[in-house]
Amino acid sequence: MAEPLNIALAGLGTVGSGVVRLIETNADLIARRARRPIRIAAVSARDRGKDRGVDLSPYLWLDDPAESATRPEIDVVVEMVGGSDGPALTLARKSIASGKSFVTANKAMIAHHGLELAAAAEAAGVALKFEAAVAGGIPVIKGLSEGAAANAIKRVYGILNGTCNYILSTMEDTGRDFADVLADAQRLGYAEADPTFDVEGIDAAHKLAILAGIAFGTRLRFDAVETSGITGVLAADISQARALGYVIRLIGTAEIDHGPVGGGEERGLFQRVRPHLVPCDHPLASVDGATNAVVAEGNFMGRLLFQGAGAGDGPTASAVVADLIDIARGEKGAAFSMPSAELEALEPANSGHRMGRAYLRFIVPDRPGVLAEITAAMRDAGVSIESFIQKGRGEAGGEVIVALVTHEGPEAAVSEALRILEGTDSVARPPLVMQIIGA
């Protein structure tokens, strides 16, 4: 058998220790598939003494992960530290500049610096791979950049954050409290080191920006993802949605937008992460727990659905090692499916002309006239109301929850209604807006 591929692992947390376990458990099978063994030549993390549930004594310990970038025996550096900048980015730049291929699970770094790193990898003639960065164990990057490579992809959307999906579906099934379920997701290794990245939608936005770049052949625009998370979703929204025949899911959507029909506007890149109402009979409604699902629509292949575990040690390690097997086989590929100079620069699309139905929820003072003010704002903005729900009555002088579902209409009209209501004493706190996905 050929010489082993020598790898250095930086980061030995959930993902890093999963990679050690996987490489040890499936060593023979991997060697046959890769046509050479994959050998862990060095490992590094912050705390050498920490019990990680794996025996690290056979491996060289490096106190500084950056050392792996310059050691001559290392072929590939695998970064599983995290963070868009800091030690992860230093390691990436140094490794590539030293002629080492680089594998990472770090979507934050790729979303912010992927174009720079891809160009550097092309110049150095090395591979830059990040299958584990998007949708955990699902081979969606390979699926889009290889299996779907012949298609013009017009839309890609789905459930991209395991932690949020775990929280929403567990709250829905058990009625448990948000903070309590988030603590479970952290214990299970799904959440980011800073879980605000998960619950504020930022992690899903990182992944969406990467997916959009690959799907459409466009330059990454993480800065242009409209992002909102699930912290504003109340248990009352979940039960209200269920009563209306929907579940709530955090959905990321990216598409090439051609502007209003007949408007003659330039093409733009639409990217949004937001909680949505999903009809109970829609395929995304049954995606529970830390599972992710990605739908891609191509002009010849039609609709593809990728689904599987979106977070956790085993699935993420599986994606990392798949990249290593490609490199061991000599398959470098292009990080974003084409040379980085070929990626098209698209400006963000204006979303106002987008049509759809929406769920709007307000927390309002329990006093006469409030409902009339909300409906007047809708009327004045041209928003047509399909149903209007007031949930019970609060304490005297307290607040009540009011929700409404709109008929199909332009998003700009809903934004205008909210603008009219902004700052009025009818709306005590910022409203929650969720688009409703078509069946």
In the complex, the smallest distance separating the C-beta of residue 384 from ligand HSE, rounded to whole angstroms, is: 36
In whole angstroms, how close is the CB of 366 to ligand HSE at the nearest point? 37
In angstroms, the CA 48 to CA 71 distance is 20
Longest CA span, the chain = 81
Closest to ligand HSE by CB, 192 vs 297, is 192
Least spacing, CB of residue 139 vs ligand HSE, in Å: 14
DSSP secondary structure string for all residues of 390-425: EE---STT-EEEEEEEEPSEEHHHHHHHHHHHTTST
For residue 207, indicate whether it is catalytic: yes
Supply angle C-alpha 324, 327, 333, rounded to 5: 120
Tokens of 218: 């466009």
Picked from ligand NAP, ligand HSE, none, the partner binding residue 15 (CB below 5 to 8 A depending on kind) is ligand NAP
Q: CA distances (Å), 312 to each of 25, 159, 188, 288, in order?
A: 17, 15, 7, 14
Cβ-based nearer residue to ligand HSE, 16 or 431: 16
Which of 13/394 has CB closer to ligand HSE? 13
Indicate which of ligand HSE, ligand NAP, none lies near residue 163 (CB less than 5 to 8 Å, by partner kind).
ligand HSE
Distance of CA 62 to the CA centre of its chain: 31
Q: How far is the CB of 33 from ligand NAP (least distance, A)?
A: 22
Q: Is residue 323 part of the contact set for ligand HSE (CB under 6 A)? A: no
222: contact with ligand HSE by CB under 6 A: no
Q: Which of 142, 207, 332, 391 is catalytic?
A: 207
- Asked if 229 touches ligand HSE (CB under 6 A), the answer is no
Nearest to residue 181, comparing CAs of 196, 192, 165, 194? 165
Minimum distance from residue 142 beta carbon to ligand HSE (Å):
16
Q: How far apart are CA 416 and CA 137, in angstroms?
A: 41
Binding letters toward ligand HSE, positions 278-317, x by CB under 6 A: --------------------------------xx------
For ligand HSE, the binding residue among 44, 163, 218, 240 (CB under 6 A) is 163
CA dist 81 and 62 (Å) reads 14
> Which residue, 268 or 312, is less far from ligand HSE as judged by CB?
312
The one of ligand NAP, ligand HSE, none whose footprint includes residue 242, by CB under 5 to 8 A per kind, is none
Q: Which is nearer to ligand HSE, 163 or 169 (CB)?
A: 163
Residue 209 identity (one-letter amino acid): A
The 10 Å CB-count burial string (b at 16+, else e) for 63-91 is: eebbbbbebeebbbbbbbbbbbeebbbeb
For helices 27-34 and 313-328, the axis angle rounded to 10 degrees is 40
Does 220 contact ligand HSE by CB under 6 A? no
Interface ranges with ligand HSE (CB under 6 A):
136, 161-163, 190-192, 198, 203, 310-311
Query: Which residues carry out catalysis?
Result: 207
